[in-house]
Amino acid sequence: MHKLAVVAIGGNSLIRNEAHQTVPDQWGAIGETCGHLAAMIAAGWDIVITHGNGPQVGFALLRAELASDLLHPVPLDLCVADTQGSLGYMIQQALRNNLLRLGIRRSIVTVVTQVLVDRDDPAFLNPTKPVGPFLTRERAEQYRKEGKAVMEDAGRGWRRVVPSPRPREILEMDAIRALQSAGFLIIAAGGGGIPVICEEGGALKGVEAVIDKDLTASLLAIGLRADLFLISTAVDQVAIHYRTPQERWLTEMTVDEARRYLHEGHFPPGSMGPKIEAAIQYLEAGGKMVLITSPSAIGKALEGEAGTRILP
């Protein structure tokens, strides 16, 4: 029996840097990360992959903004669905090519994934997550008249803001589980999943919101009873007193320590905060181990020689 890991790959695995936004650049970043994931599979791990989509949703919304005289706007649920498809395709191909180089043949499949959020999640009353390009004051005013929330961003201009409700349930979980046990490598719940609500009578409906990918990844790891929840991001380790003279990189912490450091403010919302929250949620639900590290350090981290381990 192989051990199962849910691997959440962050934006840095999908794009090299904000200033170098070409398609070959994206293939380069994904190829490199998939090289490390292929090595993990060759070492005997089974993996289910999930990923972020922030920059790609940004590109889609910028395109829609620039084409707004000609074409309809792109609803966010469709935006997430689109990026699950395009990024899923890229990961499928890059992982397959990297596995072939190691002499491994596996079928890889992406699951378009809806994630249920509560209709009355307090986030809907207080949209906080900026999405899309910077807007002029006039354009922002137009959006506001259409009923869409906008906010001025630290003097840099206006942006749309959308709610970021908590993920409650991965709706395609049964299919993901079945595919996983049938031996497929799966990419699922990309971008935190397509946010949907359940209406009176049980009908589902997409909403203008985005879900944090780390929190959804933790639901995926819980639902699959994964042996490991691996969060791959832009830093090799987690630190307390990050970017201060007292900075201390952590090799290991318990879930209690993680909770305490989170309360003490070591992990800001929107970056390390949701990863630690996701780690705590997974470990509290019976998860065995969380590893946070960068793509290139995954191999060493699996051997206990890099990264930050979080244990029950």
Residue ranges binding ligand ADP (CB under 6 A):
10-12, 52, 233-235, 238-239, 242, 266-268, 271-272
- Do 5 and 45 contact (CB within 8 A), yes or no? yes
36 vs 96 by CB, closer to ligand ADP: 36
Nearer to ligand ADP, 235 or 310 (CB): 235
In the complex, what is the shortest distance from the CB of residue 267 to ligand ADP, in angstroms, rounded to a whole number?
5
**CA-to-CA distance for 96 and 140, rounded, in angstroms?**
43
Write down the least CB distance from residue 237 to ligand ADP, Å.
7
Q: Which is nearer to ligand ADP, 15 or 111 (CB)?
A: 15
Q: Which is nearer to ligand ADP, 169 or 236 (CB)?
A: 236
Neighbours of 83 (CB within 10 A): 23
Residue 307 half-sphere exposure, CB side, CA atoms within 13 Å? 25
Cβ burial, residue 201 (10 Å; 0-12/13-18/19+): exposed
What is the Cα–Cα distance from 311 to 252, expressed in whole angstroms?
8
Distance, in Å, from the CA atom of 207 to the CA atom of 162, rounded to the nearest integer, reads 10
Smallest gap from Cβ 17 to ligand ADP, in A, equals 12
Q: Which two tokens stand for residue 112?
A: 């378009």
**Considering the complex, what minimum distance in angstroms separates the CB of residue 278 from ligand ADP?**
10
**Residue at shortest CB range from ligand ADP:** 10
Which residues are the active-site residues? 11-12, 129, 213, 275
- We find the least distance from the C-beta atom of residue 249 to ligand ADP, in angstroms, to be 8
Query: What are the structure tokens assigned to 121, written together?
Result: 């999640």
